[in-house]
Structure 1
Amino acid sequence: MYMKKLLLSLTLLASSFGFSQILTQDFQGTDWPPTGWTTETLVATRPWGFTTTIFNANGQATFNITGGKSAAKGWIAQDDDSHLTSPSFSLVGYSSATWTFNIKCGYEYQVDPFPNGDILARVSTDGGATWTTEWVEEDYGPYTDYETLNISIDMAPYLGQADVRVRFQYIANDADSMSVDDIVVSGNLGVSEVLSSAFSTFPNPVNNVLNIKSAENTLVNAIRIVDLNGRTVKSLDTNGVADIAVNVGDLSAGVYMVNLETEAGTAVKKFIKN
């Protein structure tokens, strides 16, 4: 019985190693837009920004979602088309991925009885040349004005794509204001046990430099080190090498997974940082 429990625990732990947060944004920083994010607007007097700059105190109380501020867009009684766009990220090597976010928007002047605008959640895989709409507020179903909507989008159509961006697009005339927050793209890596067994990591435990070596001369294009909560703590483009030395001296003590992206798939190795 003890051995069965131990094997089950190891299996559950191993299944979690492939999970990773690929993109996160909570808009709690000081710079607008956040690093890597871009905005465009048709109406100069209605830019995207923090709720703390877009709204007065009453508006902030209505549209703040979590923390002290969120990303926001104010309404105007004229044609408006604007968007907030993420930096590029890769879904290469992932077996599944999900895009989640929280959003507040009006119902009366967005959906019913006055469908004066749309808020679109969109995805691009070609540098922003074309966009696919994955969600629009009118498809959510009935909700109340400024209710926090928790949205989850399956990113399966974009698995294997190396240049993925997500966007919030606001198209309206005399509609309502809106805000968005807690943006996360997370995924599970498609781990090949055979591929992983071809790599060795040493020393393990490690103090400073972790060596990664391929017994079959498998070339590694990029590495990403994640903690057991799925957070990426270090990443490196290696551009096709079989032997790698990574300085991990700046990491806190604990257990980590190093994800090795190769042409044959993604290998995952565990190491312990002293």
Structure 2
Amino acid sequence: MIKKLLLMLAFVPFISHGQFLQNFDGGTTTPAGWTVINGGDTAQTWQIVNFASAEISAHSGTNAMCIRYSAAAHDDYLITPAVTVTAGVSDFLTFWGRSRDPLYPETISVKISTTGTAAANFTITLDPNVAPASGASFYKYQYDLTPYLGQTIYIGFHSTTTDKFYFDIDDVEVTALPSCVAPVNPLVVDVTSVTADLSWTAGSGTTNFEVQYGAPGFTAGSGTAAPPVTGATTTTLSGLSANTDYEYYVRANCGSGVFSAWSGPKAFKTTCASVTAFPFVEGFDAATIPSCWSNQTVSGTANWAYVTANGNSSIAPRTGARMAEFRTTTTGNKTKLVSPPLDLTAVTSPQLTFYYANVNWFGDIDELRVYYRTSANGAWTQIGSDYITEHTAWTQVTLPLPSPSATYYIAFEGTSNWARGLNLDDVTVASALSTATFDKGNFRAYPNPVKNMLNLAYNETISAVEIYNLLGQKVLSQNINLSEAQVDMSNLSAGNYLVKVFAGDVVKTIKIIKE
């Protein structure tokens, strides 16, 4: 009998002097004690939705209470059970809200009734505009109920929108007002390679905050402390490492050694630092996307790949072990392959050079277009032509780069028409005034295969050497600044390696076999 009673209690929200938590997971009908008023359109009102098999989820469990769009205006209430507002017991309201579509943002208001559950009874507005940022995420809202101490109230979630989308509510809780109310909804507003702009929503009566940040998974309280935040709900973290994952927490400082609980973690990743050494060369010789490059999907779901041959083995990498390719077995997929940020402010007349091929299959030809933008979130501008006719051999393209900036991005947009693949190799960004080329006749690299020492000789100064395995991992780097030098490869495992030799404004990539 005791076991049966405990099992029954597990499905009943906790209620004591009006204290409760409702997560709507007990079924698909309105929970006992709750009221729904459909006072506007007759088609849609508040109802429970199960997200178990949906692409998005409830805030907790499987269910949430939702209201969906209608061509007619809503005038609909979701009303809690009666709440007897008792100090230290039931004087604090929290819930999680979500507006699903940024193109059709849903909002609600939160109202209070002290007399009953009829729509006309809700004469007190607790919050006129609950407007979470639209998307899959829930946002937390919290309210001090102490103005209603000793009273029995009803809380109404009121929708009056017309032809929007969905608003979801989950985990409605009435509990004790904390002695120091925690901030909610930590956000990351903007990120660079070394900074992150943060913001959050303050709890009632709190104006001072502490922020800690660190590697993903760190324990709140053990991270790196940012400078204290006074009288604001924003701060900027600086001195971060480029291309690195972080998390942060924030808590309120209520004075006299009293702090709220930590809110978070909120994850973010810094961007890559801008490339400042030119010429910038990328040969796509690893099996994975090069560091700091990215895919930006325009349509479909396909990403660029890094292959040793195109679809009918008629195109091999121009240099090195691999080349970039955009190819699918359907039509209409379109994705940009985006470069790292480039700082072109010191490059005179910058230009882009690359090689491409696109072999047809029964007349279908994959397409290439090239774009640039001058900031991480700027608009893309096309340069060059639409490269939509067949090229069965490597074809060189050179394009001037307009509007140089310190954060300059180049994108190669592939469109798949189910052909043999759009292939790309040997991308170079350099000054158009630099006409230097690598003098192959005056360069030697021996022996090949090599057991220990690789000898290099050139008629100009070799500034540096970098060695990569075929996964694209840099395994050795050496500054030289000599015309003849030796590179010790004795500690490398047997196999094939790509050796980049830097001399002035040019780079030579060679393939070396290590015995």
More helix by share: 1
Aligned to 1:39, the other structure's residue is in SS state strand
Partners of 2:364 and 2:417 within 8 A in 1: no
Partners of 2:464 and 2:480 within 8 A in 1: no
Structure 2 residue 382 is matched with structure 1 residue 133: yes
The aligned amino acid for 2:350 is: A
Deviations along 1:97-155, one digit per CA (max 9) or x if unpaired, are 11000001136433xxxxxx63111111121431111123448xxx6542211000012
- CA distance, structure 2, for counterparts of residue 230 and residue 165 of structure 1: 29
Q: State the shift of 1:230 in Å.
A: 9.9
TM-score (norm 1): 0.51
Corresponding residue for 1:178? Answer: 422
State which structure, 1 or 2, has the greater radius of gyration over its C-alpha atoms.
2
Structure 2 counterparts to residues 234-273 of structure 1, below 5 A: 251-254=479-482
Q: State the shift of 1:172 in Å.
A: 4.4
Aligned to 1:150, the other structure's residue is in SS state strand
Q: Which of residues 322, 337, 344 in structure 2 aligns to 1:69? A: 322
Corresponding residue for 2:336? Answer: 83
- CA distance, structure 2, for counterparts of residue 189 and residue 230 of structure 1: 21
Aligned to 1:59, the other structure's residue is in SS state coil
Corresponding residue for 1:150? Answer: 396
Q: Which runs of 5+ in 1 are unaligned?
A: 1-19, 111-116, 191-227, 234-249, 256-274
Relative to 1, partners in 2 of residues 1:91 and 1:80: Cα closer, same or farther, differing over 3 Å? same
Corresponding residue for 2:350? Answer: 97
Corresponding residue for 1:121? Answer: 370
Q: Which runs of 5+ in 2 are unaligned?
A: 1-276, 435-459, 466-477, 484-515
The aligned amino acid for 1:27 is: F
Corresponding residue for 2:443? Answer: none
Q: State the shift of 1:180 in Å.
A: 0.1
Corresponding residue for 1:109? Answer: 364
Deviations along 1:190-233, one digit per CA (max 9) or x if unpaired, are 9xxxxxxxxxxxxxxxxxxxxxxxxxxxxxxxxxxxxx779789
The aligned amino acid for 1:163 is: T
Partners of 2:369 and 2:412 within 8 A in 1: yes
The aligned amino acid for 2:397 is: I
Corresponding residue for 1:33? Answer: 289
The aligned amino acid for 1:252 is: I
Partners of 1:77 and 1:175 within 8 A in 2: no
Corresponding residue for 1:195? Answer: none
- CA distance, structure 1, for counterparts of residue 283 and residue 419 of structure 2: 25
Corresponding residue for 1:200? Answer: none
- CA distance, structure 2, for counterparts of residue 72 and residue 29 of structure 1: 12
Partners of 1:63 and 1:179 within 8 A in 2: no
Q: State the shift of 1:35 in Å.
A: 0.6
- CA distance, structure 1, for counterparts of residue 358 and residue 463 of structure 2: 30
May I ask how many residue pairs the two structures share in their alignment? Answer: 169
- CA distance, structure 2, for counterparts of residue 230 and residue 252 of structure 1: 6
- CA distance, structure 2, for counterparts of residue 230 and residue 171 of structure 1: 40
Partners of 1:21 and 1:231 within 8 A in 2: no
Corresponding residue for 1:51? Answer: 307
- CA distance, structure 2, for counterparts of residue 34 and residue 89 of structure 1: 15
Aligned to 2:480, the other structure's residue is in SS state coil
Q: State the shift of 1:176 in Å.
A: 5.1
Q: Which of residues 278, 295, 301 in structure 2 aligns to 1:21? A: 278
Q: State the shift of 1:188 in Å.
A: 6.4
Deviations along 1:54-94, one digit per CA (max 9) or x if unpaired, are 85xx6344253322210111133332111211100111122
Q: Pairwise CA RMSD of aligned residues? A: 3.5
- CA distance, structure 2, for counterparts of residue 171 and residue 50 of structure 1: 16
Relative to 1, partners in 2 of residues 1:166 and 1:130: Cα closer, same or farther, differing over 3 Å? same
Partners of 1:38 and 1:86 within 8 A in 2: yes
Partners of 1:118 and 1:136 within 8 A in 2: no
Relative contact order (C-alpha < 8 Å, sep 6+): which is higher? 1
Partners of 2:286 and 2:321 within 8 A in 1: no
Corresponding residue for 2:9? Answer: none
- CA distance, structure 2, for counterparts of residue 189 and residue 93 of structure 1: 13
Partners of 1:39 and 1:85 within 8 A in 2: yes
The percent of aligned pairs where both chains have the same amino acid is 17
The aligned amino acid for 1:73 is: F
Aligned to 2:342, the other structure's residue is in SS state coil
Relative to 1, partners in 2 of residues 1:38 and 1:151: Cα closer, same or farther, differing over 3 Å? same
Aligned to 2:354, the other structure's residue is in SS state strand
The aligned amino acid for 2:395 is: L
Relative to 1, partners in 2 of residues 1:144 and 1:78: Cα closer, same or farther, differing over 3 Å? closer
Q: State the shift of 1:174 in Å.
A: 4.3
